[in-house]
């Protein structure tokens, strides 16, 4: 492959990466982004040429997901990686509500991130509070919102 063919691919990958980063930080303002561009940051060129439409096309979701569930919401994933205790529990429960079916730990971890122990502690608290239910053992363990009538598929 010649260098001339590689450049457009790299520019496209950079634009997609910049868009993904911006979507995963909903707390940033346009002023923050403009200040970065004005300072001549490393990705200023990509930001200068990026239409707002490109950011909105995937605004609520990240299409890279490892399972058959809905796309991963980058803003929830971002918030969850920084959340602790009951705030993290609320995000875990929100993911289960959105799933609308029993899901495994891998599904949850893909959507809330963090170390395994953090998710395990959250699930334990939610089960003890009667907010979610667990079925199965080991790799067949599934979690769902308590009282949900949805059966495992």
Instruction: Tell me if 150 is assigned to some domain.
Output: no
| Neighbour-count burial of 52, counting CB atoms closer than 10 A to its CB (0-12 exposed, 13-18 middle, 19+ buried) | exposed
Instruction: Tell me if 153 is assigned to some domain.
Output: no
Highest mean pLDDT: which of 13-22, 44-53, 91-100? 91-100
Instruction: Tell me if 63 is assigned to some domain.
Output: no
pLDDT at 61: 41
CATH number of domain containing 124: 1.10.10.10
Taking residues 94-100, what's their average pLDDT?
Answer: 89
Instruction: Tell me if 66 is assigned to some domain.
Output: no
Query: What total of structural domains would you count in the chain?
Result: 2
Higher pLDDT: 22 or 127? It is 127
Return the C-alpha torsion angle 58, 59, 63, 68, nearest 10. Answer: -130
Least confident of 24-33, 57-66, 86-95, 104-113: 57-66
Rg of the chain, C-alpha, whole Å: 19
Note down the domain range covering 52. Answer: 3-56
Instruction: Tell me if 152 is assigned to some domain.
Output: no
Instruction: Tell me if 131 is assigned to some domain.
Output: yes
Taking residues 50-69, what's their average pLDDT?
Answer: 61
Instruction: Tell me if 10 is assigned to some domain.
Output: yes
Instruction: Tell me if 122 is assigned to some domain.
Output: yes
User: pLDDT (tens digit, 9 = 90+) per residue, 99-151?
Assistant: 888 999 888 988 888 788 899 999 999 999 999 999 998 888 999 998 876 55
């Amino acid at each position: 492959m010649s260098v001339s063919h590689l450049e457009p691919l790299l520019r496209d990958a950079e634009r997609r990466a910049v868009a993904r980063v911006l979507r995963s930080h909903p707390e940033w303002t346009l002023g923050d982004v403009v200040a970065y561009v004005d300072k001549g940051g490393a990705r200023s060129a990509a930001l200068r040429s990026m239409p707002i439409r490109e950011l909105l096309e995937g605004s609520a979701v990240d299409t890279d997901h490892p399972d058959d569930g809905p796309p991963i919401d980058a803003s929830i994933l971002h918030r969850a990686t920084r959340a602790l205790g009951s705030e993290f529990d609320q995000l875990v429960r929100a993911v289960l509500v959105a799933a609308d079916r029993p899901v495994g730990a891998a599904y949850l971890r893909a959507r809330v991130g963090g170390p395994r122990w953090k998710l395990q502690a959250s699930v334990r608290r939610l089960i003890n509070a009667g907010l979610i239910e667990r079925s199965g053992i080991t790799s067949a363990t599934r979690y769902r919102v308590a009282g949900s009538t949805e059966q495992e598929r």
